[in-house]
Amino acid sequence: MPELPDVEVARRNLHRWMVGGTIVAARCADRYLLRPGSPRAFEHALVGRTVAGVERKGKWLKVVLDGPSASQGRRLFAHLGMTGDWTEGSAGDAENAAPRFERARIDLERRGRALVVRYLDSRRFGRLVVSSDDIVEWTSLGPDPLAGGLDVATLADAFARSRRPVKEIVMDQSVLAGIGNILATEALWRARLDPRSPGTTLSRSDVRAVARGLRDEIARELAEREDRGPDGPAPETYETDGTFNAYGRAGAPCPRDGAPLARVTLGGRSTVFCKVCQVLRR
């Protein structure tokens, strides 16, 4: 599920489902997901509150809650980790039973209707954190690409300051929030730039190409998810169905020149690229 486009879709869904609703029950028994919180604190912080808004920065979500008085606002921060997802169903239907991998459940009342919002996460690398202030994981994020954070000057600055491979810089959440392994791999393929190139070696036009690659790939993935709609196929099924140019395609022909795509490890992450058309700066 989780890179910027997936999280943005989750944000829009949560916004549509929850804003204006009042939380009547909240349960999460998973202490690992709640770290450093507790099931009791989770329930206590949410029940009785009204949802005022749902925001996103990078891969983090922030659900803004209103208390009985304005000074009692609380926030629920959520990260999808590797396999997290949010779903919705109306309470009372046949599907009242907890689906597989349900880790948290929030019951709301909205416009006289009861609904259930669920957090599912098979691998449990996600987070659910309640706080009355912004948490450091949120405040230390760099600018978000969809909020105008993807400008060439900022990127050029980050590259100029580091000899680390360009792919690692782009995936650094304090440089740019929301870029994961798929977006970085695809953007660099689009930019025709070898992911191992040190940041300091990039030319002005390289930086522009990386920015354009990121922008285009984010837009493409967002459009793809919008096309499928909420009742489309399960997320897992659109990872490897031919929509990627490089990600997950090691050994297969590069769509541009037919050369077999190479695979290396950068920052502990699998990295696929074409040695023929993606130029290595040094």
Q: Using CB under 7 A, which of the segments 66-74, 86-94, 163-171, 203-211 binds DNA?
A: 163-171
Distance CA(126)–CA(33), nearest Å, equals 6
Is there binding between residue 173 and DNA (CB under 7 A)? yes
Q: How would you label 214-247 residue by residue, b for 16+ Cβ within 10 Å and e otherwise?
A: beebbeebbeebeeeeeeeeeeeebeeeeebbbb
Kindly name the residue from 11, 56, 57, 59 that is annotated as catalytic.
Answer: 59
Out of 16, 44, 113, 123, the only residue in the binding site for DNA (CB under 7 A) is 123
Residues 6+ apart with CB under 8 A from 229: none
Q: Is 228 annotated in the active site?
A: no
Q: Mapping DSSP to helix (H, G, I), strand (E, B) and coil, where does residue 192 land?
A: coil
One character per residue 208-247, x = contact with DNA (rule: CB under 7 A): ---------------------------xx--x--------
Out of 88, 267, 276, 281, the only residue in the binding site for DNA (CB under 7 A) is 267
Distance CA(10)–CA(228), nearest Å, equals 14
Distance CA(128)–CA(130), nearest Å, equals 7
- Evaluated on CA atoms 172, 8, 86, 15, the torsion sign reads positive
Out of 67, 81, 89, 255, the only residue in the binding site for DNA (CB under 7 A) is 81
Positions that interact with DNA (CB under 7 A) = 1-3, 6, 32, 58-59, 79, 81-82, 101, 122-125, 137, 161-164, 168, 171, 173, 180-182, 235-236, 239, 265-270
Which of the residues are catalytic? 2-3, 59, 269
